[in-house]
Amino acid sequence: MEPTAKQALSTSLEKLVTNMSFDDISVKLIVSKTTFNRQTFYYHFQDKFDCLQYTLEQLSQRLAAEMIYSDWRKCYLKIFNVIAQRRTFMGHIVDSQAYSMFTDFVLQSVDAMLQGVLARTPQGEAQTSFPQKPWKLFEYGLQGIIIDWFTEGLRKEPEELVDELLDVDISQLKVLLKVLLGTQKQNLQRQNLPRQLPATARLR
């Protein structure tokens, strides 16, 4: 099946970024590697950043589709492995003006992983809905581990890193999020407590 124009342009960009900095790539160069023209490019994308965002979103979706959600740690390691397999491609994004798109890709992949794992809770176990703040706190932690690992040169094996930091099974994952929720509720309750005057002030 022939790729669509949008897919072909995305693939062209991915190949170019694998070989050179994203900053050095122009729309003219992207279309020159395809059978399409600039008009077709701008029909599908606003600019090269939009094209890169689409490319990374497609990669994140393929990654999510390949995950086996019965083991969340294996899913998490899958994100490391996909990034490691595309080390040069990702590196050229990180070292460019599109750095934030790399961090967004990692966060999107982590979010898809957690959503997939929790959606597949074994039958008979209560499904839990977590509020946004504790969920995001945990997500950002998982995202930060991957970003630090990559920007520090992939010096540690992902398996070793995850074993050190995240020896957590699915039930413990839920407990962790509940603890975060409980802490958040306590903080809100403290903020809403009526302020009492000092004892000396009350005696006046």
> pLDDT by residue (tens digit) across 59-87?
999 999 888 877 788 889 999 999 999 99
Of residues 177 and 41, more confidence is placed in 41
Instruction: List alpha helices for 20-47, DSSP H.
Output: 27-32, 38-44
DSSP 157: -
Of residues 200 and 193, more confidence is placed in 193
> Which sequence spans correspond to the domains of the chain?
5-187
User: What is the average pLDDT across 43-64?
Assistant: 96
| Amino acid 195: pLDDT | 45
Query: Of the given ranges (8-22, 62-76, 110-124, 175-189), which has the lowest mean pLDDT?
Result: 175-189
User: What is the average pLDDT across 109-128?
Assistant: 68
User: What is the average pLDDT across 43-56?
Assistant: 97
What is the pTM (predicted TM-score) of this model? 0.76
pLDDT at 132 over 90: no
Instruction: List alpha helices for 67-152, DSSP H.
Output: 72-85, 87-94, 99-119, 132-151
Percent pLDDT > 90 in the chain is 52
**pLDDT tier, 128 (very low <50, low <70, confident <90, very high otherwise):** very low
Task: Give yes or no for a contact between 58 and 10, defined as CB atoms under 8 angstroms apart.
Answer: yes
Q: Give the list of residues 6+ apart from residue 83 with CB closer than 8 angstroms, or none.
A: 90, 106, 146, 150
> 5-187 belongs to which CATH class?
mainly alpha
Residue 156 parent element (H or E): none
**pLDDT tier, 164 (very low <50, low <70, confident <90, very high otherwise):** confident
The first and second tokens of residue 142, run together, are: 């998982």
